[in-house]
A and B are shown apart, each in its own frame.
Chain A
Amino acid sequence: MTEQAKTLTSNPGTEKARVIVCAGTPCVSAGALDIYEEFEERLSAVDLPAEVVLEDEKVENEGLSLDLTGCPGFCEQGPLVRIDPVGILYTNVTVEDVETIIDKTLAQGEVIEDLCYEDVSGQRVLRENEISFYSSQKRLVLDNCGYIRPDSLGDYRRAGGLKALQKVLAEMTPEQVCDQILASNLRGRGGAGYPTGQKWKFTLSQQAEEKFIVANCDEGDPGAFMDRSLIEGDPYRVLEGMIIGAYAVGASQGFVYIRIEYPLAIKRLEKAVENLREQGFLGKNILDSGLDLDIDIRRGAGAFVCGEETALLHSIEGKRGMPRPRPPYPSQSGLWDRPTVINNVETLANVPDIINRGADWYSDIGTENSPGTKVFALAGDVVNTGLVEVPMGISLEEVVNEIGGGVPGGKKLKAVQTGGPAGGCIPADELDVKVDFESLAEKGSIMGSGGMIVMDEETCMVDLAKYFIEFSREESCGKCTPCREGNTRLLEILERITRGAGKEEDIDLLRRLSELEQKASLCGLGQAAPNPVVSTLDYFEEEYRRHIEEQECPAGACRYLVTYLIEADPCVGCGACARVCPVDCISGESQEPHEIDQNECIKCGQCYEVCNFEAVLRK
């Protein structure tokens, strides 16, 4: 190990070492900026050939540099610090570790094992690309994330950026661009999977004095943060795809619609747009091609429904984000009634590579009907949470167990939820399902925008459905009856089931309402809102029945249906449970087994959490 690490400083002056601090939101929230500052301060104080590079567009001098990059995706282990060119990855770094890293690794070329990732077998892994979390991934869209400084147009260009745009403007007609995207069979990554080339071609064919292109970064699914990481880590890639798209469809104005909850991504995007404008990649007559395009960033204001394209357009127009019936489709009549093409940011990020490397190259990745890769935000009851990019067609099993490292704590996997509130659950015994648009749909779920929540055996499926319906109820725009009223009624039924007050006919009512909402709602969000109910009913109807017929929650998650008991044998009478009980319903003499008064118990579970002797049982 030390041998390898020596290369870090073996040739100072010829090969530059870089200290890369991940500055994605999770790492920042865990203190990455403090770590960065600490590095900056200490590096300037020590006698190392160190240079701190933060500002964009500065040519990097030889020696040691310190960069802030976008998210490499391994959020669970953040804050992350990588030392290039060797690629040593330090995880869970603290401010206190900085001094040690400088003294040992940078000055002496020594690796600090304690900071290296420890895999499931207890082995310390030195390099990022040796960690199973990364080795099964295929990074196209996220290729630059974590490797370039997101603010730096220079870094992006050195990594091959803007070549596609130059090629398109110099050598291709808009029709050819559309045809190439069509031939690649790139499908929209926002959820519906509509062929991007077709959308572009149709928009191109529209006669209008003005057209628009919109990048949809209103990533609202709870637990999904693919688009945010992409923009935080590689904003130029998205913008390059967007400029190419504008050329392909004939748009003269672009909008990026991005959640206001993503301040860092917004900042990076603003900076990127500014740099592109300064360098002549945005504005009038871009690269002498005759293409005029400017890009405006519009921040969302907290409405999930604005991910729906017609709602998003209304929001850009300054209206309530309520969907309208289609047709006409935005490509016919969108912003201010002009033809408008709307693409998800991940879709756009695929475009430069397709132009550079060809449609055939792209369609060879993934499956025939779902080519390319997909980025997922892996979260929930899984060892490695974070951002993963995998080729389409990979099995769900591989994603969860190999990349994700399986379920922690020796618990059993119960299901995987994909597609967020519009998606469904794939049960553990269907885990060999391929991750592509059609296969997931066949199992009653959807690809969605890329949220992937792993659930262990302690997750109650009724409670899960309730959670998503509560979300959809809160986020319903209120325009059409089935969604506005239906979600409230679904929620009421699910609530009474989880309280043990479910009625015999409730399962039929849930199905009936769900079908109505799916078939008759105005927009895709309303139509998809009951999916979590339908898919959990399809795979876990028995669990619903247990709640209704036996007032029992098999997963032990439904508060009202759970009983906490103290088992006399293991109880040592330490009194910890009695002290935390908020309603004082636990009694017992010191050193004697304690007892819970079931009539008073509010089932908060605090005694269960606090007991060190596994004497409190949850049933």
Chain B
Amino acid sequence: MSCCSEEYTLKEKIVEKLQDFRGRDRSDSYLIPALQIVQEEYGYLSRQHLDEVARLLSVPYARVTGVASFYQFFNFQPAGEYEIIICTGTACHVRGAGAVFDRFLEELGVEPEEPTEDGKFSVTDARCVGACSKAPVVIIEEKVYSHVAPDDVPDILADFGYSP
């Protein structure tokens, strides 16, 4: 029916993947994998994409957003081009990750998860990344900074072309 003509803004390969999920047994169990695929492709889950996932998997909208908002992995706004991840596991906490986190926010003048005005950086925390021996740990673009102190923050940002 014309009312229901399905036009998706998701990339074709993703639509196909999700349709493949839909064709499988217990297809609603692929909701989280589907959301992960979209998140990994776009870096966040837009309202439009969430609704499209719901339609593609035939899972009610409210359940889709209920599931997405339950898990910390999913974001609902785009992260900065460079997402600065600060580990806040116990070892990192004990060794001062909080101050490092605050310093990043201060340097960039943003709130957690909020991208800078030019969209280049955003700051987020992560549960233990398992590199406790290197605490506190900061990860940007798969580059890992070990034993980070607040004063290292400007230099780290400079590595990614940031100047205050």
Contacts and interface: CB of A to CB of B under 8 A. Distances in A.
A75 interface: yes
B26 A26 contact: no
Contacts of A304: 127
Contact of A223 (B26, B30, B90, B139): B90
B35 interface: yes
A223 B91 contact: yes
Interface in B10-54: 26, 28-33, 35-36
B9 interface: no
Nearest to A609: B149
Given A298-B33, A467-B93, A25 B131 contact: yes
Contacts of A30: 131, 134, 144, 146
Interface stretch (A49-57, A61-69, A376-384, A589-597): A376-384
A318 interface: yes
Contacts of A300: 71, 73
Interface-centre pick from A75, A302, A318, A381 (highest chain B CB count, 10 A): A318
Contact of B26 (A29, A336, A455, A604): A336
Interface in A307-356: 315-322, 336
Nearest to A557: B94
A380 to B, nearest CB: 6
B133 interface: yes
B128 A222 contact: yes
Contacts of B127: 220, 222, 261, 302, 304
B31 A318 contact: yes
B146 A303 contact: no
B74 interface: yes
Interface string A212-230: 0000000011111100100
B89 to A, nearest CB: 4
Nearest to B26: A336
Contacts of B5: none
Nearest to B132: A379
A303 B137 contact: no
A322 B69 CA distance: 13
B36 A385 contact: no
A525 to B, nearest CB: 14
A594 B144 CA distance: 38
Contacts of A303: 70-72
Given A380-B94, A459-B94, A298 B32 contact: yes
Interface-centre pick from B33, B91, B133, B139 (highest chain A CB count, 10 A): B133
A222 B126 contact: no
Contact of B89 (A25, A222, A580): A222
A161 interface: no
B24 to A, nearest CB: 11
A468 B26 CA distance: 37
A560 B28 CA distance: 50
Interface in A539-593: 580
B66 interface: yes
Contacts of A159: none
Contact of B90 (A25, A222, A318, A320): A222
A301 B74 contact: yes
B130 A316 contact: no
A308 to B, nearest CB: 14
A9 interface: no
B155 to A, nearest CB: 15
Contacts of A220: 127
Given A451-B90, A453-B91, A223 B73 contact: no
A75 B88 CA distance: 18
Given A225-B128, A320-B66, A321-B70, A453 B94 contact: yes
Interface residues of A, number: 51
Contacts of A336: 26
Nearest to B66: A320
Contacts of A377: 132
Interface in B99-133: 99, 126-133
A450 interface: no
A557 B71 CA distance: 32
Interface-centre pick from A223, A262, A299 (highest chain B CB count, 10 A): A223
Interface-centre pick from B88, B129, B130, B144 (highest chain A CB count, 10 A): B130
Contacts of B157: none
Contacts of A316: 29
Nearest to B128: A222
Nearest to B70: A320
Contact of A29 (B32, B144, B149): B144
A379 B91 contact: yes
A520 interface: no
Interface in A244-299: 260-262, 298-299
Contacts of A506: none
A78 interface: yes
Interface-centre pick from B59, B134, B135, B137 (highest chain A CB count, 10 A): B134
Interface-centre pick from A224, A300, A379, A381 (highest chain B CB count, 10 A): A379
B132 A606 contact: no
A260 B137 CA distance: 18
A302 B29 contact: no
A221 B130 CA distance: 10
Given A225-B132, A321-B71, A301 B32 contact: yes
Nearest to B21: A318
Contacts of A402: none
A317 B59 CA distance: 12
A301 B133 contact: no
B130 A26 contact: yes
Interface string A368-403: 000000000101110001100000000000000000
A224 B88 CA distance: 13
A318 B32 contact: yes
Contact of A380 (B31, B90, B144): B90
Contact of B129 (A261, A459, A467): A261
B72 A25 contact: no
Nearest to B137: A29
Contact of A385 (B33, B91, B144): B91
A315 B30 CA distance: 10
Given A222-B90, A316-B29, 5 more contacts: A29-B144, A75-B133, A302-B74, A322-B70, A455-B94
26 contacts: A25-B130, A25-B131, A26-B130, A26-B132, A29-B144, A30-B144, A30-B146, A222-B128, A223-B89, A223-B128, A225-B128, A261-B126, A301-B35, A304-B127, A317-B26, A318-B29, A318-B30, A318-B32, A319-B67, A320-B67, A320-B70, A381-B94, A417-B90, A420-B90, A455-B94, A467-B93
Name the 9 nearest CB pairs between A and B, nearest first. A302-B72, A301-B71, A29-B144, A318-B31, A225-B130, A223-B90, A302-B73, A301-B73, A75-B133
